[in-house]
Chains A and B, each alone.
Chain A
Amino acid sequence: MQIYLPIAELPVNALVILAMGGAVGFLSGMFGVGGGFLMTPLLIFIGIPPGVAVGTQSTQVVASSVTGALAHWRKASIDFKMGGVMLAGGIAGSITGIFIFRLLTKIGQVDLMISIVYVVFLTVIGGMMMAESLRAMLAERRGTPLPVSRGGQHSWIHGLPFKMRFRRSKLYISVIPPILIGFFVGVLSAIMGVGGAFIMIPAMIYLLRMPTSVVIGTSLFQIVFVTGLTGVMHSVENQTVDAMLGLILVVGGVIGAQYGVRAGSRLKGEHLRALLAALVLLMGLRLGWDLVTPPADLYSITDAMPHT
């Protein structure tokens, strides 16, 4: 079933897009990840212009993170104060990211930047996930519990000024690290079309030492607003949000997530994580391969001016 995308300006098979949305939604429901870091490269693989993939992907992230954030809100597992502080950084980061995106589009390097950022993150995250799940599988086979690695309770973070009390997280720390984390994730959100939970969650646990119970809810709360802003800004600055594409992705994602949540509660965690890690690694390597192999045609063409 071919459908013509008004902003991407090309026809795609609606069923393929729906299936992609469903598959990524399934994985995101199963692993509790947003899935943006899988969807954007997939969209690029099937020929959607990278700019449109990133811009449109932000709407899909908004939809899935609203669903997640509402669930955590009902469970009261959101630290709104911490989320608010991170959001302040996230807004600044998102604006910076859009600016970088626009600048690189102008000088013709945006595709390269998206590819490089993805290669770095997909291989690093995929590699870490793979190592972790292999360790877990090995430990289970031997029957020994995993050692819980926790460093010293006090780190350099506690020496920073502008301290603030976060009651929900039971923390009294400087606002600088949360703002910086928010900022960094905001930049990534704007240039990668992702929510950034895969960076934010480890940072919140290991750097800020937030209780695990509030980490996911708080990151989702921040993601809703940062990606929302990113989506609006991509619309205004670059006109790269394709509502038709976004709609199909959201519908597929919502349906897929339902089944993903159920499957995730039934199946074995480590094996699935290893599978996801393999998928992520493969994608990173594929994108990386494209960067280092001589392209079929050294020359490429683009419209010089955004047409009005």
Chain B
Amino acid sequence: MIIMYRTGALLILAMLTLAASRAQAAQLVTDLSEHQVRIRSNFNGTQILLFGAVEVNNADERAQDRDVIVVVSGPSRPVTVRRKERVAGIWVNHDSLTFPKVPGYYAVASTRPLEVTAGVDVLQREQIGIDNVNFGTAFAQSMDGGAEILPADQEKDFVKALIRNKRRENLYISDPGGIVFLGQTLFRATVDIPANVPVGLYTATVFLLRDGEVVDAISSPLYIDKSGLERFLYRFAHNSALLYGLIAVFGAALAGWIASAVMRER
């Protein structure tokens, strides 16, 4: 008990110090309009409103050197990118590259285009902008499934193709100028969540930059999950696949039987 009490006390102390140190630099306050998105049967995509305030230290601070960047990123999963080649007149998936951790969703909004807000080193360090996200060490496979090594420039083509495909599916979004300041301190941004969004735990991170350096950052969680019947069916199909399959097939057979009975009546 005492130990627990002590750790508890230590924790509170630690949090207080952290809060205090934050408070010193406390320049950013943000929140999301929703922390949970439920995918129901009528889900057709949605928008998340992100809003916040930047504290102004002294009145003559120049707003031009201040930038806010919002990054919303979804759960990372391994993704395989395949390249088609013509084999005997038919376009066939040939070489493939599997990246171990690819965010299923990535949206970035900023006050100005990313390349003018900060240097590449800063953006890469903070993984801001989809081009600066590290997908992990890729694993290449030839058509027959054997491992192979692709030259670096080809690997780059695969990375570009991955981003291009995700952009086409509206899962990777960049919106330079998507953050709107209302006066000196308040800002807001809307982030599109498309209908084909993967489920899982998302993080929305707001970066405050001054003169190209990150001076503050706040992360908040965003949970996207199937809900109601969608959730039930998805879980059922994955957790008790056999029972799900049997019910689906017997349900279909029952429908056929009912149809036959109805047709006989008439």
Q: A residues near B, CB below 8 A? A: 2-4, 6-7, 9-11, 58-60, 62-67, 70-71, 106-109, 112, 116, 224, 228, 231-236, 239, 241, 243-244, 246-247, 250-251, 254, 257-258, 261, 291-295, 297-305, 307-308
Contact = CB atoms under 8 A, between A and B. Distances in A.
B22 interface: no
A218 B238 CA distance: 34
Interface stretch (B62-70, B109-117, B239-247): B239-247
5 contacts: A2-B42, A59-B252, A108-B82, A243-B233, A244-B230
A294 B249 contact: no
B164 A297 contact: yes
Interface stretch (B92-100, B123-131, B211-219): B92-100
Interface in B220-236: 226, 229-231, 233-234
Contact of B165 (A64, A116, A246, A297): A297
Contacts of B241: 235-236, 239
A99 B168 CA distance: 32
Contact of A10 (B161, B196, B244): B196
Contacts of A109: 92-93
A301 B81 contact: yes
A305 B249 contact: no
What is the predominant secondary structure among interface residues of chain A facing chain B? Answer: helix
A235 B82 contact: no
A299 B158 contact: yes
A3 B43 CA distance: 7
B91 A291 contact: yes
Contact of A6 (B166, B226, B253): B226
Contacts of A258: 259, 263
Interface in B154-175: 157-158, 161-162, 164-166, 168
Interface of B: 39-45, 77-86, 89-93, 96, 98, 143-145, 157-158, 161-162, 164-166, 168, 195-196, 198, 226, 229-231, 233-234, 237-238, 241-242, 244-249, 251-253, 255-257, 259-260, 263
A247 B229 CA distance: 13
B90 A63 contact: no
A254 B81 CA distance: 40
B37 to A, nearest CB: 12
A303 B77 contact: yes
Contacts, number: 191
B246 A232 contact: yes
Contact of A3 (B42, B78, B158): B42
A293 B77 CA distance: 31
Nearest to B250: A228
Nearest to A4: B43
Given A62-B253, A244-B41, A108 B93 contact: yes
Contact of A304 (B80, B161, B253): B80
A216 B41 CA distance: 39
B234 A7 contact: yes
A291 B90 contact: yes
Nearest to A240: B237
A10 B145 contact: no
Contacts of A3: 41-42
B98 A304 contact: yes
Contact of B259 (A235, A243, A254): A254
Contacts of B238: 239, 308
Contacts of A254: 255-256, 259
Nearest to A237: B241
Given A6-B226, A299-B83, A304 B245 contact: no
Given A64-B256, A254-B256, 18 more contacts: A6-B226, A6-B237, A62-B256, A63-B252, A63-B256, A108-B93, A116-B90, A228-B249, A231-B248, A232-B242, A243-B248, A292-B91, A299-B157, A299-B162, A299-B165, A300-B82, A300-B165, A301-B80
A303 B162 CA distance: 11
A68 B126 CA distance: 63
Nearest to B104: A303
